[in-house]
Structure 1
Amino acid sequence: MLILQSISYTHPNKDLLFSNIDLNLNKYQKAALIGNNGAGKSTLLKLITGTFQPANGSVFTSSKPYYIPQIFGQFNHLTVAQALQVEAKLKAFKEILNGEANEENLLILDDDWTIEDRCFAALAYWKLQNLDLHQKMETLSGGQKTKVFLAGIAIHQPEIILLDEPSNHLDAESRQLLYDFIQHTSATLLVVSHDRKLLNLLDSVYELSWHGIKMYSGNYEFYAEQKQLETNALNLDIKSKERALRQAKEVARETLERQQKLDALGKKKQEKAGMPTIVMNTLRNNAEKSTARIKDVHAEKTDNLAQELTQLRQERSATDKMKFGFDNAALHKGKILFAAKDLNFGYGAKMLWEQHLTISLTSGERIAVKGANGSGKTTLIKLILGELKPQNGMVQRAGTQAVYIDQDYSLIDNQLTVYEQAQKFNATSLLEHEIKIRLNRFLFAKDYWDKPCAALSGGEKMRLALCCLTIANKAPDMIILDEPTNNLDIQNIEILTAAINEYEGTLLVISHDAVFLEQIGVSGEICLE
């Protein structure tokens, strides 16, 4: 059981992240925790583990949670055994076997005589059977690091498990192992993830936002349906409020015109009646006050409606606000952009692929490149782009413009500000205010324009890359995406999906995200072994 009551958290700089968060997880419940980047999902998990302390509120857990963090290199200095928190037990176990069965070693081992066997079995389940427990974490790939922490579940057998983006960096086979575990475990789960296939395996969704936290009693598909209903209702509210504001302005205009006509008519009658100047001044002042009161009443009404409309518009999703305006690629469909026969490449004497590759890419295709970690997917991209020369086979390239968006968003120059980066793609000499309008469309408001690109999150860099492509005005003939959804929240994945679906050129995608590949209409694949 996991209970959060009135939890608030304040950053060290005194900025409030969230307040009054209540969350209850029952035994065996499997829940997702979703929200936009910066909402505080990872922070909430760290509050549950006790790594961070809340400003207010309390955390109760029926047992110690096992936490699988996002991997950012913070564990590189540890060995695998240290990362798994079993080093002391393994050392005591070995010393006891070597005849040092003293009180200290027996106390540390705590009768856990199967610890070494459990470690080997757990690592083998995650296809890490050749891993040395004394190997440094810095020698492992991102996927291997994630699987080390996942192996810790079988070793420690916790009742409560917290997972922060567990499918990041995992290949298709490892993701399937993760999905199988989630389906069959009896542990209580709280999972932060943007992997929609994984989220559909969970029985409830908690959405964390600046409003607070809201629960949806179903999997991600159910959540998405409910959000769509909420969005439809919101759009109806916006249209209704826009109509009411137009009508209020029209009534205000008509009322004011009618009052002004009455005032003018009254003035003429007064002049004809030959009233004294002092009386006419009094009547004129009264008329002006009456007109001012009418103006104030209608101004207050229209201002209130305008504020309500602004608030409603702010609640709209970023995808609804954004305008992409991708130009069509100029190449006719079916033109061969790249062809290779008996293609292969090697680092050293050994070739990457057991069978030489014979492939072709034609204009307008949407192709996924699939393969396990280390199968040479990124190498193939570099061969297609001409950045590497094949060590075997022949290649043919058409004179096409390709844009490569890799996992590190190298398209973005970290030395530039956001505005300078956008200006770099200004091939058609757009005016400054036109560039800033486009930046606003991609959620880069005024306070972002002078911000260094190096300070942007992965999702922000992705949005800026898309914005640059729209500023360039001419769509590239081919866009190549290398694991584009890694480290993006669901909102930014939806933005990327909407943008890609407006693009009509050739698309080549490396991704293990099956839902993303389906939504962007991938029609073929290149499988590497």
Structure 2
Amino acid sequence: MFPAFAWCSVSTFKKEIMIILQNLTYIHSNKDLLFDNIHLAVNDNEKIALIGNNGSGKSTLIKIMAGIVQPSAGLVNSSSKPYYVPQIFGQFNEHTIAQALQIEDKLNALSEILSGNVSESNFATLNDDWTIEERSYAALAHWGHQGLDLKQRMNTLSGGQKTKVFLAGILIHQPDIILMDEPSNHLDLSGRALLYNFIQSCESTLVVISHDRKLLNMLDIVVELSSKGLSVYGGSYDFYKEQKLSERQALDHDLKSKEKELRKAKEIEREALERQQRTDARGKKKQEKAGLPRISMNTLKNKAENSTAKVKGVHAEKTGMLSQELNDLRKELPEADKIKFGFDNSSLHKGKILCSVKEINHSYDQNLLWKERLSFQITSGERLVVKGLNGKGKTTLIKIILGEIKPLIGTIYKADCKTVYIDQEYSIIDNDFSVYEQAQTFNSTSLQEHEVKIRLNRFLFTKDDWDKSCSVLSGGEKMRLMLCCLTISSQVPDIIVLDEPTNNLDIQNVEIMTAAINEYEGTLIVISHDEYFLEQVGVEREIELI
């Protein structure tokens, strides 16, 4: 039996491990600046969460740390080669598992030696790693991949299986530095449990990009990447949130103070102008009574106008400066705080039976999906989650509830109600439309063009975005456009179904979605392994598929 793994154990005399980023800059090929003059030192055994909004450059930065992408300027130094767990796997589709894990050469050398080819090059390639094959299969088995062939192609695996392959590589290579980009994205509950256990027990240096709040709270330091660069917060994600709240409260205080100062300056400006105007009026009356010549009257009039203009200029400069300072402060507001929801929930009636399922089961290959037949009711206003391991038919059950397919066994009643299904790719958004055209498809009450554009502005789609193709939108942008469309629609859906809603979203956009869902009063059905999100949106019960 192969011995149990010690997670990333380190030797007694191991030297200190560091990643050092100095004056790091990255510029896209189209000349757009992504980030500039980045500095960071990562010390031995530190567990760092790298967070930031979509588009801030997190994935690019971690690829630079991994040596996959070269910076436009600056230096990256690391004490040993980092091991990288990617978020996107398409580039590995034609690779075998062994190739993706960078162990194919060793496996081939081992096979050659065992076959009698004891060349010096084979021994050099193997480098005395005689247990490489055994360790590889044991590592895959640890992550639930018993029986997987190392020669199998990556394109035959699901997203969760691919993630587990790269996580197994940590056990195989035992690296001192581990870099992960959204490692929990595609994992089911059992996979996440294994990942959380790894995070907590690992002794290597970790840098992790994630929006999984449970995972983030297992890390010791939060590093936020923004347009200002990198900001380091010593503590867990909850500690970071407390610090951000304090910063936000300070910003709110500064905003209120600046708004008060601007109002006061405008009031002083108005009073000064009124005094100047009264003074000018009195002077004019005196001049008229004195019967001064017209040329003298014109000279005095010009002096009065110049005095008024001077007063205006002095105060305009002051109010203009304050207005600019106020605008600068408002730009620092989190984007989520600028979004205004407006769901009309008046047509939703709590407690109405929307769906009744009796003794159902289904099959695709003559094997029934579920061990036991399912029976349940869904009523208006409740919130539930559909849980189950990968391949247990969660999406199939949703399609049955939506009436898209009929169960092989049993019956289902569905009331006449409006349902919106929101998948991970936001397929509700038509990539052939522009942002404005997409919004118009939901404009069932014939809102005027300017009203539709006002709604788009509320969801951070400015004039520059209205003609943009939906095909170029990020996941977070599609999610915001989808929410905007729902607020434009005259009929709020009775049921909203969310399929892994937090995948591919940054934390800010997860919080935007959470706020929107909490304002919605209809029925919510969620497929999700993100327990923090489920807690935040108030899920009350679960349907577990086994």
CA pair 118-28 structure 1, distance change in 2 beyond 3 A? same
Q: Does 1:243 align with 2:260?
A: yes
Q: Does 1:126 align with 2:143?
A: yes
User: What CA deviation, in whole Å up to 9, does each residue of 1:179-235 have, x standing for no partner?
Assistant: 100100110001011000000000000000001110000010000111111111111
CA distance in 1: counterparts of 2:326 and 2:362, whole angstroms: 58
Q: Does 1:99 align with 2:116?
A: yes
472-481 vs 499-508, greater mean Cα deviation: 472-481
* Aligned partner letter, 2:451: E
341-350 vs 244-253, greater mean Cα deviation: 244-253
Q: Which residue of 2 aligns with 1:454?
A: 471
CA distance in 1: counterparts of 2:536 and 2:374, whole angstroms: 27
Aligned partner of 2:382 among 321, 340, 365? 365
164-173 vs 47-56, greater mean Cα deviation: 47-56
Question: Post-superposition shift, 1:473?
Answer: 3.1
Whether the aligned pair in 2 keeps the contact of 1:81 and 1:134 (CA below 8 Å) is yes
Q: Which residue of 2 aligns with 1:232?
A: 249
User: What CA deviation, in whole Å up to 9, does each residue of 1:107-144 have, x standing for no partner?
Assistant: 10011111111101110110011211000000000000
CA distance in 2: counterparts of 1:323 and 1:266, whole angstroms: 53
Q: Does 1:169 align with 2:186?
A: yes
* Aligned partner letter, 1:232: Q
TM-score (norm 2): 0.96
CA distance in 2: counterparts of 1:218 and 1:385, whole angstroms: 44
Q: Does 1:420 align with 2:437?
A: yes
Aligned partner of 1:336 among 348, 353, 356? 353
Aligned partner of 1:259 among 262, 273, 276? 276
Q: Which residue of 2 aligns with 1:436?
A: 453
* Aligned partner letter, 2:219: L
Aligned partner of 2:39 among 2, 14, 22? 22
Whether the aligned pair in 2 keeps the contact of 1:63 and 1:160 (CA below 8 Å) is yes
Aligned partner of 2:319 among 302, 325, 333? 302
SS at match of 1:74: helix
CA distance in 2: counterparts of 1:204 and 1:386, whole angstroms: 47
* Aligned partner letter, 1:117: E
Q: Which residue of 2 aligns with 1:39?
A: 56
Aligned partner of 2:217 among 194, 200, 206? 200
Q: Which residue of 1 aligns with 2:176?
A: 159
CA distance in 1: counterparts of 2:346 and 2:117, whole angstroms: 73
Q: Does 1:110 align with 2:127?
A: yes
User: What CA deviation, in whole Å up to 9, does each residue of 1:28-69 have, x standing for no partner?
Assistant: 000000000000001101111222222221111011111111
Question: Post-superposition shift, 1:25?
Answer: 0.7
* Aligned partner letter, 1:112: D
CA distance in 1: counterparts of 2:202 and 2:434, whole angstroms: 47
Q: Which residue of 2 aligns with 1:512?
A: 529
517-526 vs 467-476, greater mean Cα deviation: 467-476
Q: Which residue of 1 aligns with 2:75?
A: 58
SS at match of 1:202: coil
Q: Does 1:489 align with 2:506?
A: yes
CA distance in 2: counterparts of 1:285 and 1:213, whole angstroms: 57
CA distance in 2: counterparts of 1:25 and 1:111, whole angstroms: 31
* Aligned partner letter, 2:331: Q
Whether the aligned pair in 2 keeps the contact of 1:343 and 1:394 (CA below 8 Å) is yes
User: What CA deviation, in whole Å up to 9, does each residue of 1:441-467 have, x standing for no partner?
Assistant: 111111111111111111111111100
Q: CA RMSD in A?
A: 1.0
CA distance in 2: counterparts of 1:68 and 1:241, whole angstroms: 46
47-56 vs 224-233, greater mean Cα deviation: 47-56
Question: Post-superposition shift, 1:249?
Answer: 1.4
SS at match of 2:308: helix
506-515 vs 245-254, greater mean Cα deviation: 245-254
CA distance in 2: counterparts of 1:504 and 1:74, whole angstroms: 42
* Aligned partner letter, 2:349: H
Runs (5+) with no aligned partner, structure 2: 1-17
Q: Which residue of 2 aligns with 1:390?
A: 407
Q: Does 1:138 align with 2:155?
A: yes
How many percent identity over aligned positions?
Answer: 65
Whether the aligned pair in 2 keeps the contact of 1:340 and 1:394 (CA below 8 Å) is yes
Whether the aligned pair in 1 keeps the contact of 2:417 and 2:494 (CA below 8 Å) is yes
* Aligned partner letter, 2:414: R
CA distance in 2: counterparts of 1:448 and 1:131, whole angstroms: 46
Whether the aligned pair in 2 keeps the contact of 1:46 and 1:52 (CA below 8 Å) is yes
Q: Does 1:8 align with 2:25?
A: yes
Q: Does 1:376 align with 2:393?
A: yes
Runs (5+) with no aligned partner, structure 1: none
CA distance in 2: counterparts of 1:331 and 1:464, whole angstroms: 23
Q: Does 1:346 align with 2:359?
A: no
Alignment map for 1:261-276 (pairs within 5 Å): 261-276=278-293
User: What CA deviation, in whole Å up to 9, does each residue of 1:365-387 have, x standing for no partner?
Assistant: 10011111111111000000000
Aligned partner of 2:165 among 127, 145, 148? 148
SS at match of 2:238: helix
243-252 vs 14-23, greater mean Cα deviation: 243-252
Whether the aligned pair in 2 keeps the contact of 1:167 and 1:175 (CA below 8 Å) is yes
User: What CA deviation, in whole Å up to 9, does each residue of 1:286-318 have, x standing for no partner?
Assistant: 221111111111111111111111111111112
Count of matched residue positions in the alignment of Structure 1 and Structure 2: 529
User: What CA deviation, in whole Å up to 9, does each residue of 1:255-289 have, x standing for no partner?
Assistant: 11110111111111112122233333222222211
CA distance in 2: counterparts of 1:245 and 1:387, whole angstroms: 58
* Aligned partner letter, 1:273: A
Q: Which residue of 2 aligns with 1:356?
A: 373
SS at match of 1:54: coil
Q: Which residue of 2 aligns with 1:524?
A: 541
9-18 vs 480-489, greater mean Cα deviation: 9-18
CA distance in 2: counterparts of 1:329 and 1:347, whole angstroms: 41
* Aligned partner letter, 1:347: Y
TM-score (norm 1): 0.99
* Aligned partner letter, 2:119: N
Q: Which residue of 1 aligns with 2:304?
A: 287
Whether the aligned pair in 1 keeps the contact of 2:89 and 2:162 (CA below 8 Å) is no
Aligned partner of 1:184 among 196, 201, 215? 201
Q: Does 1:473 align with 2:494?
A: no
